[in-house]
Amino acid sequence: MRLLLVLIIFLLLVKFEYMDREINSLIVDRDNILLINKSNTENLKLLADQNKQNNDLFLQREQRKEKQQGELIVTTESLRKLLYKKEQFNHHWPDDIIEWLQLPY
pTM to 2 decimals? 0.53
Q: How far apart are the C-alpha atoms of 64 and 72, rounded to whole Å? A: 12
H helix intervals, the chain: 2-89, 95-102
Distance from C-alpha of 74 to C-alpha of 80, rounded to nearest angstrom = 10
Instruction: Give me the pLDDT at residue 98, please.
Output: 77
**pLDDT tens digit at each of 105 positions of the chain:** 888 899 999 999 999 999 999 999 999 999 999 999 999 999 999 999 999 999 999 999 999 999 998 888 888 888 888 888 877 766 677 788 778 878 886
- CA–CA separation, 23 vs 16, rounded Å? 10
